[in-house]
Amino acid sequence: MIDYTTHSRFTDPGPLAGWLDGVGPDLAQLRRVAAGLVFHYWGNGNITDHGFPAERLAEVDLRYAADILARLHELNPAPLGEQRAPTERVVGCCRDFTLLFVAMARHHGIPARSRVGFAGYLAPGWYLDHVVAEVWDGRRWRLVDPQFLDGEVDLMDVPRDRFLVGADAWRAARSGAIEADRFVVSPEMTVPGTRGLTQVRHDLVQDLASLNKHEMILWDLWGSLSDEPELSEEDVAAADELAALLQDPEADVRAAFDTDAYRVSPVITSLDQVTQLPVEVVLR
């Protein structure tokens, strides 16, 4: 059984672990703090309109909680629970709000993990590519969205039909319960492969990695993941099998992950968000 109370190499706060002592273990407090540590790299328009130098966009490619915390400490070493000006937050995305929340929860021994899937509460009629946390409350796993201070759903217990984890999204799209083209990174984004079954399958594999404590950046590629805009018949069949397995609460997610198709390799490819070019990344 996977121990979600301990850190992964991605959530480990490193030298700044003591900085987390002053936050939590109350989950609502952890969620509020996480929401104030990251400034979304496109959710509020261009970051330069909010006082950020353009070069700070590179922060969205910070991979490890230790590096994100180091940057936050450099920007403002005040206690994490204190309110920060926007430019004192790290530039990031939904993955980073969740990574920091999970890091803080695990710091206090709370079972927590990242889940990759699609939120149906961010844009009417759409399911947007999104990352939230999942916390064991002693009875069940519940979804917690650390990005927003409030919303149209209970962000401390997001309903399962409003956030679809990777397997649920895949099965919904494949069955026709939800039109596949409703699953998108953004309704306005027209980059090939960022909507429909291709994007859903990407998030399905990313979610498997998260369940195995590999909290990857959303534009990472490894194993069978590629930037091809269309899926092959073999890809679809394999995703059908993986989604069915992950919907089984007794599934061995370690065994599913430990294959050449899904295991995160020591060297991966990631899309640099400044240059928009693929780069080779050697993981720590």
Mind listing the pLDDT tens digit for each residue in 86-140?
999 999 999 999 999 999 999 999 999 999 999 999 999 999 999 999 999 999 9
Mean pLDDT of 211-224: 98
For residue 208, being part of any structural domain is answered with yes
For residue 2, being part of any structural domain is answered with no
Closest by Cα among 270, 214, 244, 274 to 41 = 274
For residue 9, being part of any structural domain is answered with no
Is residue 170's pLDDT more than 90? yes
Overall number of domains in the chain: 1
pLDDT at position 108 is 97
Structure tokens at 40: 């979304």
Largest CA distance in the chain: 53
For residue 3, being part of any structural domain is answered with no
User: How high does pLDDT run on average in the chain?
Assistant: 97
Cβ burial 78-113 (10 Å sphere, 16+ → b, else e): eebeeebeeebbbbbbbbbbbbbbbbbbbbbebbbb
Contact 134, 185 (CB under 8 A): no
Question: Which of the four pLDDT bands, split at 50, 70 and 90, describes residue 147?
Answer: very high
pLDDT at position 67 is 98
- How far apart are alpha carbons 269 and 217 in whole angstroms? 10
For residue 20, being part of any structural domain is answered with yes
Mean pLDDT of 235-240: 97
For residue 32, being part of any structural domain is answered with yes
Residue span of the structural domain in which 34 resides: 14-282
For residue 140, being part of any structural domain is answered with yes
Give burial (CB, 10 Å; 0-12/13-18/19+) of 4.
Answer: buried
pLDDT at position 190 is 86
For residue 1, being part of any structural domain is answered with no
Question: What percentage of residues in the chain have a pLDDT greater than 90?
Answer: 97
